[in-house]
Amino acid sequence: MRSLGRAMLLALVVSSVCAFMRSAAIAPHGGLRIVSQARGNPLSMAATSDLSQNMRDMREAMAADEKNAAFVEAMRGTNINDDDAAAAGTRLQVVETRRGTDSLPVVYDPEALATYFGQRPGAVVTRLTQVAVTAGVWGIKTAFAAAQGKLTSGSEGEIAAVAGLRRVLVSLGPFYIKLGQALSIRPDILSPQAMVQLQQLCDKVPPFDSSIAFQTIREELGISDVSEVYSKITPEPVAAASLGQVYKATLRDSGEE
Query: Could you read off the pLDDT of 104-162 as tens digits, one per residue?
Result: 888 889 999 999 999 999 999 999 999 999 999 999 999 999 999 998 887 888 889 99
The pLDDT of 193-218, averaged and rounded, is: 82
**pTM (whole model) above 0.75:** no
Of 170, 167, 165, 199, the C-alpha closest to 182 is: 199
Query: Which residue would you say has higher pLDDT here, 190 or 228?
Result: 228
pLDDT band at 71 (very low <50, low <70, confident <90, very high): low
- The H-assigned helical ranges of the chain are 2-22, 42-64, 66-76, 110-118, 121-147, 156-172, 174-183, 192-199, 210-221
Instruction: Report pLDDT for 111.
Output: 92
To the nearest 10 degrees (0 to 180), the angle between helices 121-147 and 110-118 is 100
Q: Is the dihedral of CA 93, 98, 103, 104 positive or negative?
A: negative
| β 245-246/239-240 pair status | antiparallel
Instruction: Report pLDDT for 15.
Output: 52
Residue 163 pLDDT > 50, yes or no? yes
pLDDT band at 33 (very low <50, low <70, confident <90, very high): very low
Q: What is the mean pLDDT of the chain?
A: 75
The pLDDT of 10-17, averaged and rounded, is: 49
Helix (H, G, I), strand (E, B) or coil at 238: coil
Residues 6+ apart with CB under 8 A from 247: 213, 233, 234, 236, 237, 238
The pLDDT of 246-255, averaged and rounded, is: 90
Nearest 5°: the CA angle 49, 53, 54 is 120
- Across the strands, what pairs with 33? 25
Category of 83 on φ-ψ map: left (φ > 0), alpha (ψ -120 to 50) or beta: beta
Instruction: Report pLDDT for 65.
Output: 58
> Residues 213, 219: contact at Cβ < 8 Å?
no
Q: Residue 93 and residue 131: Cα distance in Å, rounded? A: 9
Q: Residue 156 and residue 191: Cα distance in Å, rounded? A: 11
Q: Residue 49 and residue 36: Cα distance in Å, rounded? A: 16
